[in-house]
A and B are shown apart, each in its own frame.
Chain A
Amino acid sequence: MNKPLPEPIPASTEEAHVRWAAEYSAQIGADRAVHNRSGIPVRPLYTPLDVDPARFDADVGFPGQPPYTRGIYATMHRGRTWTQRQLIGLGTPAAYNARLTDILGQGGTAVSLIPCNSVFRGYDMDEVDEELLGTCGVVANSADHMATCLAGVDLATTSCAMNDPSPFTLLAFMLATAKRNGVDWRTISGTSNQSDYLSHYVANHMFFRLALPGARRILVDHIRWCNEHVPRWNPLSVVGQHTQQAGATPAESMAFTLAAAVQYADDCVAAGMSPDAFLPRFTFFFDVSISFFEEIAKFRAGRRIWARIARERWGARDPRSWRFKFHAQTSGVDLTRQQPLNNIARVTAQAIAGIFGGLQSLHTDAYDEALSCPTQFGARIAVATQNILREEAHLTDVIDPLGGSYYVEALTNEMEARVLAIMADVEAAGGMYRAVESGLVQRRIGESACRFQERIDRGEQTVVGVNAYQVDEDASARPALPKPDPAEMRAHLGAFTAWKAQRPAQAVAAALDGVARAANDGDANVFAAVVAAAEAGCTHGEICGTLRREVGFGMPLTVV
């Protein structure tokens, strides 16, 4: 017998695993240690030994049912694909409306509105450096401006996402527009993005903010008022995107986001609201980085944790309260200025991770976002990327296609454990509000941001075109920053100041006084007063200025 017998099929998985491990070690020599961004060690192979088949129902289950790991709806993307929601905003309301019409004509299915940074900071256009007006978003300061922005959009059938931090003036302007057009507020749907004031404090300091106690109270008022008057509106979007873009790892970002949601729900319960009244209108918004499997596991773990908290912490009984609805945006941090067209490949990988993670709505970044605010050319490719993934690559045919993957299920379990551990740290610090006040959250994010950059600078993390595979580039191929037409912007500014001067001064003053009085009366609803002020012709800057005076201004708590 000179010829060796073929290897028999091993007697057990364990035996085969031992045999593979020996062969792997012999061939690879000194194996490199691999950790994902959240610090979880990644093994070279996952097998049935990494998941407990007896826990299928408890950990994996079916879409649309607890534990919701596989998706919040029974049909998921096979029934209704995600909403294509591209963030846009540039220039004057008329310029914004033209861009919006273009995006809706190419397959965009929902509106998003990014206002100018002056709006985020709580000012009207006549209060800031003229050079900056409209360079990053639309300059909308009044109900009239909003009417121009949304001209031609059927508010009763189109979902609108407003990038609209406290005190939610843009929604108030939109409601005033709807009323003028005879649209019933009860038919209006969409989301108050940027309602998560805690995330602004710790991570994205872009937004106008009120001192923490004022912001806390106004958010509860806003949730209560919207639930009653605009029942299809999502008054809260809890944002993980800010923390992750600021440097938090995917696990930290999920943990801080869930901890913030817990804080907001606790605050609503403390204000006497019923969990099943407000939880169905809670939504989430996440970053999706290029760390592909880690992001998928992050979303699957987050869905499972939220469903459990909703049931166990607040006793929510309505399944809609358990559903972890989220919008995702591909991560700008991963994009490079070098060889910018490479970003199309990065955005594609990020988007697939978000889709496999079970998102409800998606913004794909334009390839030129590391160079400037995106050009129209870049924005079109971003929309086309979504169309290709959905209709050419057939990513929507099967629900949770990675469910049951040994790696993805094991990683989902490990992400869940890591997220819960960070949430426990926050809970021990007195909850998210206190943890933000004390700077705990900011410190962790700052440390993670530095670690991330060091890994790139040391070459431990490859970034194509930045620390590897560099090429000589023709800088003239890079797009120029789209800037608003200065003549149009000056005309917009002139019309605004003229309009402001001829308003009925008494009605404006009375409405602003109403906002001030509501801020000082615990039984009043501040957001109701903001809506009334918008209808009375008050401007964004006037409403924000009034509240800043009454409840105080909060500077970011920066920890370096």
Chain B
Amino acid sequence: MDIRPKVLVTKIGLDGHDRGSRVVAAHLRDAGMEVVYTPPWQKIEAVVKLAMEEDVDVIGVSSLATDHLIVPKLMAALRDAGLTDVVVIVGGIVPDADEQALLDVGVARVFHPGSPLDEISAYITEATARVRAARFPA
């Protein structure tokens, strides 16, 4: 089966440093993925709604200046909306002490500064294959 992941690239919270989200979004698009991109400052409810309407496989949340601290709220909102099989990844500046807390609430993976773009796209392809296989067993 040809995997063409659909990915929502977004920023929640208050910070607007969006170089990371723009570079990653452009790379995923160039790698052939379907990318839904939002400007910064998205409300958590808006991200959940968009993920549902667009039926994305993966949500990539970019954070530079501490917005990762409200990712647990996003995870809870996704769960409440029944979106339990969407893979959520976080990219940006996430201190080690906070990384475990994100993984504990269901974030699939955290990509730190210096992560090669190919590593991010490879992970998304693999994770998408995994969730689609679970959703539509052969």
Contacts and interface: CB of A to CB of B under 8 A. Distances in A.
Which of B14, B19, B40, B113 has most chain A Cβ within 10 Å?
Answer: B14
A245 B64 CA distance: 12
Interface stretch (B49-57, B66-74, B77-85, B125-133): B66-74
Interface residues on chain B, size class: 35 or more
B18 interface: yes
B15 A136 contact: yes
Contact of B13 (A129, A446, A457, A479): A129
B116 interface: yes
Contacts of A450: 23, 26-27
Nearest to A116: B14
B4 interface: no
Interface in B79-98: 93, 95-98
A338 B16 CA distance: 24
A206 B14 CA distance: 7
* B contacts with A: majority SS: mixed
B70 A131 contact: yes
A121 interface: yes
Contact of A129 (B26, B73, B98, B118): B73
A560 B25 contact: yes
Contacts of B25: 560
B113 A370 contact: yes
Contact of A205 (B40, B112, B113): B40
A480 B70 contact: no
A338 B96 CA distance: 12
Contacts of B65: 117, 135-136, 206, 373
Nearest to B113: A337
A372 B16 CA distance: 16
A209 to B, nearest CB: 9
Contact of B16 (A131, A204, A337, A475): A204
A245 B23 CA distance: 13
B14 A558 contact: no
A478 interface: yes
A186 B116 CA distance: 52
Contact of A560 (B13, B22, B40, B116): B22
Given A121-B41, A204-B16, A457 B118 contact: yes
Contact of A247 (B19, B29, B69): B19
B114 interface: yes
Given A371-B93, A556-B39, A206 B26 contact: no
Contact of A449 (B19, B69, B70): B19
A341 interface: no
Contacts of A446: 22, 26
A481 B66 contact: yes
Contacts of A345: none
Interface string A459-497: 000010111000000011011110000000000000000
Interface string B89-127: 000010111100000000000001110111000000000
Which of B39, B69, B73, B95 has most chain A Cβ within 10 Å?
Answer: B95
Given A132-B70, A247-B19, A446-B26, A560 B93 contact: no
B13 A132 contact: yes
A117 B22 contact: no
Nearest to A454: B117
A51 to B, nearest CB: 36
A265 to B, nearest CB: 27
Contacts of A136: 15, 65-66
Interface residues of A, number: 45
A479 B98 CA distance: 11
A187 interface: no
Contact of A117 (B15, B27, B73, B118): B15
A237 interface: no
A367 interface: no
A128 B35 CA distance: 29
Given A118-B14, A204-B16, A481-B66, A558 B39 contact: yes
A299 interface: no
A555 B96 CA distance: 32
A446 B19 CA distance: 8
Given A129-B13, A450-B23, A475 B96 contact: yes
A336 interface: yes
Contacts of B37: 558, 560
A372 B13 CA distance: 17
Nearest to A557: B39
B93 A555 contact: no
Interface in A529-560: 555-556, 558, 560
A463 B114 CA distance: 9
B23 A453 contact: yes
Contacts of A333: 19
Contacts of A120: 14
B6 to A, nearest CB: 16
Contacts of B39: 205, 555-556, 558
A532 B120 CA distance: 51
B112 A117 contact: no
A380 to B, nearest CB: 19
A442 to B, nearest CB: 9
Interface string A190-226: 0000000000000011110000000000000000000
A132 to B, nearest CB: 6
Nearest to A121: B14
Given A245-B17, A476-B96, 10 more contacts: A118-B14, A120-B14, A205-B41, A206-B65, A245-B19, A454-B117, A457-B118, A556-B16, A556-B18, A558-B22
6 contacts: A132-B67, A205-B17, A205-B18, A207-B16, A246-B19, A560-B25
The 5 A-B pairs with the shortest beta carbon distances in the complex, nearest first, are A205-B16, A117-B14, A135-B66, A481-B95, A466-B114
Interface of B: 13-19, 22-23, 25-27, 29, 35, 37, 39-41, 65-67, 69-70, 73, 93, 95-98, 112-114, 116-118
Interface of A: 117-118, 120-121, 128-129, 131-132, 135-136, 204-207, 245-247, 333, 336-338, 370-373, 446, 449-450, 453-454, 457, 463, 465-467, 475-476, 478-481, 555-556, 558, 560
